[in-house]
Chains A and B, each alone.
Chain A
Amino acid sequence: MNPPLRRALGHWRAPVCVLAAAAALLFYVPFLVVVATSWTGGEFVLFPPQGFSLRWYASVLGDPEWAQAFRTSLWTSAVATAVAVVIGTLGALALSRLRSRTGRRLLRTLFIVPIAIPPVAYGAGLYLVNIGSEPLYGTFVLFVLGEAVLGAPYVFVLVANRLEQTDPTLHPAAATLGASWPMILWRVDLPLVLPSVLRGTLFAFVVIFDEVVLSVFLVPVGGRTLPLQMLGASQEAFSPQLTAASTLVSVVAVAALALFGLAARIRKDPP
């Protein structure tokens, strides 16, 4: 709520709100269409849906192919997120300790540049590395590490922003009191950045779980992640099974995030 800004916009306030609400429809409508088509009773994806039935949900949940894709996505995303969180957090901590302007600039650029690299080009490069390296080929190693590279910038940005806002005198104070650097890291920095690290974990996980391009190039033959399964299904036969699976994934994601938000709120202000 921002009364001065509201007053400043004057009679432009109503058009601004109307335009924004129309833009919000760009978010709602496609999602609602996916949800609606998933409860069709018919054989095809049709809008409006024919009747109401949950048969396609039963079909997805009973399908071992979807279940396996979901499990693969879950564990690869979890491992990749863990790597991304360690790398991103260490990088942000290093940034807060660097004094050289150029060094800080280079470090920041290195950590943010993976966002600017197109996933297809990165995936193609990793694919070439993958086919050339005998022990790694046929495993998920490069896939998971590549996903970690794509997730790390988000952790880095969140943690680095938090560290920017911390009191710079804490470090000298702790050092004067005789704390060694691992002690300072453990007792001063980590408690300060922990909420940002958790948020970064969540964000990186969502980004990685959603990422399809590296799956296309790097998942070993026979393996399938959920996005890959969805992409394949959309190109072969666009069936209500796909929209039912999409709805399920979205509902799980939103529920998990709502729980996370609730937990964060409860921790912040205990009743």
Chain B
Amino acid sequence: MTDQLTLRRSAARPAPRARPRPAPSAERVVLLAAPLLFLALMLAAPLAELLGRSLADGGAALRTALGSAVFLDAVWRTLWLALVATLVTVGLGTVYALAVAVGPAWVRAFLVAGLLVSLWTSVMVRTFGWMLLELPTGALYWLLHNLGLADAPLQVFQTTAAMYPAMVAVMLPFAVLAVLGPVTAIDRDLLAAAAVSGAGPLLTFRTVVLPSLRGAMISGGVLVFVMSLGFYVTPLLLGGPSNLTVSGLINAQLRTANRIDVGAAMSVLLIAGTVGAYLIADRLFRVSERWGGR
């Protein structure tokens, strides 16, 4: 079974190249040891502290966290938010990337400039924009009111619903960027072959376009999902104090409730969830190879 898998995997890849010769040891020490040591230390020390705090007193803090209804609420809210954000951004991101590839010049310019605006302005600034839009008498109300669609101030701000559009907007660029490269690299001969064989747009999309993009969509989706799980600013500012995500709850435990141990326990659980999700996805879909070269 393992052999079969290896075989399939190597068949799916470009021909293996000659590897560089074994590196001399001094080279290894400088190139490998320094960054490894730095990262290992910077990751292990905080993790050890968190684990130590949450496991003290026979795991009392961990039990408190897991037994708290507020925490479980936050977990569901976070998971749901991340899932919706992922599905919407991957779908919308694919459409966006396709439009960049096939749109008329002015549409392309509009789309690319939008992507750049979003990438190069701070997440916080963009979140402020969403706050201003969603405030009871904010910009959105102004627009709807002038169109005659709303006569009472909006009740969106500081609700769970307020977080969704902003999260989608913040995460969308990552999904678009993940798919954009593969969209331009779709095999033209395959497209031509589909056209010659008389395949319509839907059939071509299903048999040529989608299979070429699937890997990128998955790795982009994993990135968005994992980042959404731990996102902080946008849910905090838009969801408000009564609709906390796990990140917001940890923040509250540490900074206002002064329960460092419970905050640490929740942090451990959150890290376990996100890193676990990432490692499983990496195992299943080889995400990091797509991100970090083969």
Contacts and interface: CB of A to CB of B under 8 A. Distances in A.
A171 interface: yes
Interface string A108-124: 11111111111111101
Contacts of B230: 117-121
Interface centre among A9, A32, A120 (most CB of B within 10 A): A120
Interface residues of A, number: 108
A88 B34 CA distance: 11
Interface band, chain B: 35 or more
B198 interface: no
B237 interface: yes
Contacts of A21: 99, 107, 110-111
Interface string B247-260: 10011001100001
B46 A120 contact: no
Interface in A115-172: 115-122, 124-129, 132, 145-146, 148-149, 152, 156-157, 160-161, 163-164, 168-169, 171-172
Interface centre among B115, B169, B291 (most CB of A within 10 A): B291
Report the 3 A-B pairs with minimum CB-CB distance, sorted nearest first: A118-B230, A30-B129, A125-B46
Interface stretch (B64-72, B132-140, B147-155): B132-140
Contacts of A250: 120-122, 125
Nearest to B260: A128
Given A31-B125, A87-B38, A109-B282, A5 B191 contact: yes
Contacts of B20: 96-97, 99, 168, 171-172
A62 interface: no
A221 interface: no
A171 B21 CA distance: 8
A5 B39 contact: no
A169 B18 CA distance: 8
A111 B39 contact: yes
Contacts of A197: none
Nearest to A127: B254
Interface centre among B102, B133, B291 (most CB of A within 10 A): B102
A9 B263 contact: no
B184 A2 contact: yes
B166 to A, nearest CB: 8
Contact of B201 (A8, A23, A168): A8
Interface in A49-83: none
A47 B142 contact: yes
Nearest to A20: B99
